């Protein structure tokens, strides 16, 4: 990779194809942009396509904030069988014939029950760590361990197609807007569990990540074949990513901020502040309610 001395700071939104890991996408973007400091906000499984938000340069500091924002998916769920991975990648571990298909009202009631704050048990084939090892490592070794229960919020989960009954299985499409930490595969399994049948996520596309929709995404093929000058036109600047109130710093305030000092004279707040000096975004400060001070949360430059 030819390293470029002009570091790019911001986001580039990729429409990830299926059959590729998120790490693979990061590696390709890193080569295309010509810089090492590249990360992503929210892993997509290899068999899932759609929005993958890539952070470049100083924007990598914001990955935790970007991951905390809601995500939206579309996909399909099939009743009648379950797999070890909760999607089509794994071996079938349970199968039944649905001789009397559920009507739309029953399926919609099961979906409605899963809207709001819920508890989920992550799939064995996931990256959650237990005892210093990831669950998929235990799964591949044939070991079963107790999995932690996780909180998730399902903001809007709904059926978006007719229910098809075929070969003693039922299948339908859905859309779901969810919080960080939600396992969509598990949401499919939980939907079937509401009705007492095995279920599998049979297709999945992320249509929004970090508040950015698929309409703003660029196909990976275009990114890897474009000249760098064209790629720079696709970059979303850091100032366009953040939505917090902005404070313009005085000379004395900028001196304090660039030296990492806590600020006590600013009004109390329950949010963050973007701090600018001479029209340049310098840092983000967060209000600490316990100590009644503003303190550094993200620093983009001290210059």
What's the rounded Cα separation, in Å, for the pair 49 and 52? 8
Q: Which residues pair with 87 in a beta bridge?
A: 201
Is 45 an active-site residue?
A: yes
Residues, the chain: 303
Long-range contacts of 259-266 (CB under 8 A, 24+ apart): 260/296, 260/299, 262/288, 262/291, 262/293, 262/294, 262/295, 262/296, 263/293, 263/294, 263/295, 264/292, 264/293, 264/294, 266/294
Nearest to 172 by CA among 254, 106, 271: 106
Q: Which residues pair with 295 in a beta bridge?
A: 286
Please, are residues 85 and 185 in contact by the beta-carbon 8 Å criterion? yes
Question: Which residue, chain included where needed, has tokens 């000249």?
Answer: 227
Sequential DSSP letters for 185-205: HHHHHHHHHHHTS-EEEEEEE
What's the rounded Cα separation, in Å, for the pair 222 and 217? 11
Catalytic position from the list 6, 24, 45, 251: 45
CA dihedral 227, 239, 206, 33 (to 10 degrees): 20
Which residues have C-beta within 8 Å of that of residue 245, sequence separation ≥ 6? 269, 271, 272, 273, 274
List, by residue number, the catalytic residues.
45
């Amino acid at each position: 990779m030819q390293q470029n001395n002009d570091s790019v700071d911001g986001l580039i939104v990729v429409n990830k194809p299926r059959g590729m890991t998120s790490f693979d996408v990061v590696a390709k973007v890193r080569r295309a942009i010509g810089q090492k400091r590249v990360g992503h906000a929210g892993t997509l499984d290899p068999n899932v396509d759609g929005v993958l938000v890539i952070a470049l340069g100083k924007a990598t500091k914001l990955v935790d904030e970007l991951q905390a924002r809601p995500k939206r998916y579309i996909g399909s769920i099939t009743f009648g069988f379950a797999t070890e991975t909760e999607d089509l990648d794994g071996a079938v571990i349970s199968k039944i014939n649905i001789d009397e298909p559920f009507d739309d009202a029953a399926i919609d009631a099961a979906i409605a029950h899963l809207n709001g704050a819920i508890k989920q048990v992550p799939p064995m084939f996931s990256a959650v760590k237990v005892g210093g090892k990831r669950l998929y490592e235990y799964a591949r070794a044939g070991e079963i361990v107790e999995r932690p229960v996780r909180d998730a919020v399902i903001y809007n989960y709904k059926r978006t197609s007719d229910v098809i009954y075929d070969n003693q299985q039922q299948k339908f499409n859905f859309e779901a807007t969810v919080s960080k930490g939600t396992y969509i595969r598990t949401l499919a399994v939980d939907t079937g569990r509401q009705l007492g049948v095995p279920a599998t996520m049979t297709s999945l596309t992320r249509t929004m990540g970090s508040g950015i929709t698929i309409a703003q995404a660029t196909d990976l093929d275009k990114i890897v074949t474009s000249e760098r000058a064209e790629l720079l036109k696709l970059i979303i600047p850091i100032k366009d990513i953040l939505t917090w109130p902005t404070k313009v710093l005085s000379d004395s305030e900028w001196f304090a901020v660039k030296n990492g000092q806590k600020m006590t004279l600013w009004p109390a707040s329950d949010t963050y502040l973007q701090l600018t000096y001479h029209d340049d975004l310098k840092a983000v400060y967060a209000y600490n309610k316990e100590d009644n001070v503003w303190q550094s949360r993200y620093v983009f430059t001290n210059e």
